[in-house]
A = this chain, B = another copy of it.
Amino acid sequence: MILRVDRLQVELPAPTDPDPAAAAHVQELLGGRFGEMSTLMNYTYQSFNFRGREKAKPFYDLIANIATEEYGHIELVSAVINGLLTGASEGEDVTDSPLKGVKDQAGIRHHWINSGFGALPVNSLGQGWNGEYVFNSGDLVLDLLHNFFLENGARMAKIRVYETTDHPIARRMLGYLFVRGGVHALAYAKALEELTGVDVKKMLPIPNIPDADFKEAREFTDQGMHGKLYRFSETDFEGIRQVWTGTHPLDGTPLEVIDGLPPTAAPTPADLPEEPAVSSPGLHPGEIAEVVQRLVSRM
């Protein structure tokens, strides 16, 4: 089970300069084969199906705990997509043509026909994330090797999307996720090393450019976040301490387990702007507010 905390892993800039084409690119990081839906679901199912977990507890705990952090990543990337789409209509009158401007743009048509300028679990082409992206052979070494590869594939996709846009909302998320993804890649490398004796972590980073070279990541590496594994549980997964020890191979930062949420956590965007042109949350949001008023007053 999970408990939800209504906070984002890192605060995002307020929406400006709508950019449906950038939103389309960022979707790859959400619903693409190497997107956050994939990291979330791969590790989640690997934890659900982990056999003999008592004997192998540190590894079970590691996979389960990273899975938990990944939930915050689909949330963060979704918030970015919402931010990039906010304001893309012109006017609010649905009996007019407030979406005429997006018709000829590069973007994903489902963002406005099907969703209300919101994120969807699809890739940059609008193709749905697919459960077949989950790899879980049951064999711990093979699954960890998969995860190590997956994290590196995910990093490459992030770099490529980074290169397509310098939109501040996208860049904020990318800077943060370069660092957190780096932690996960290192964690799996260390787990593999324990099990096979191979110094897998020496392969990192792929491609060969440190996270700190991306200026938006530096704020987080400066805080030492690349050495911290957050324990996303109040009661469980203590075993991660047994894997996440030693120092970071790039700069010697001590590897630490931190109990609880990252310090960067910030409220989710409670004020995500209404978009009446796409009827979100309704054509006349005031009506919903009135209903709520009634509900509240009844208590």
Contact pick for A118, options B7, B136, B206, CB 8 Å: B136
Q: Is the CB of B4 within 8 A of A8?
A: no
A213 to chain B: which residues have CB within 8 Å? 95
Q: Is the CB of A115 within 8 A of B142?
A: no
Decide yes or no whether A222 CB sits under 8 A from chain B.
no
- Which of A44, A104, A127, A137 gathers most chain B CB within 10 Å? A137
Q: Is the CB of A136 within 8 A of B116?
A: yes
Q: Is the CB of B159 within 8 A of A94?
A: yes
Q: Is the CB of B2 within 8 A of A5?
A: yes
Q: CA separation between A253 and B5, bound complex, in Å?
A: 29
Contact code string A211-255 (vs B, CB < 8 Å = 1, else 0): 001110000000000000000111111000111010000000000
Q: Is the CB of B283 within 8 A of A78?
A: no
A160 to chain B: which residues have CB within 8 Å? 99, 112-114, 278
Nearest CB in chain B to that of A277: its residue: B163
* Beyond A3-B234, A198-B203, 9 extra complex contacts between A and B, CB < 8 Å: A2-B72, A94-B163, A99-B164, A100-B164, A116-B139, A129-B131, A135-B153, A141-B207, A142-B153
Q: Is the CB of B25 within 8 A of A113?
A: yes
Copies in the complex: 6
Decide yes or no whether A274 CB sits under 8 A from chain B.
yes
Q: CA separation between A215 and B209, bound complex, in Å?
A: 46
Q: Is the CB of B97 within 8 A of A163?
A: yes
Distance to closest chain B CB from A181 (angstroms): 14
Q: Is the CB of B195 within 8 A of A5?
A: no
A130-B130, A138-B275, A280-B139 as given contacts; A45 in contact with B78, CB under 8 Å: yes
A79 to chain B: which residues have CB within 8 Å? 48
Contact code string A1-13 (vs B, CB < 8 Å = 1, else 0): 1111111110000
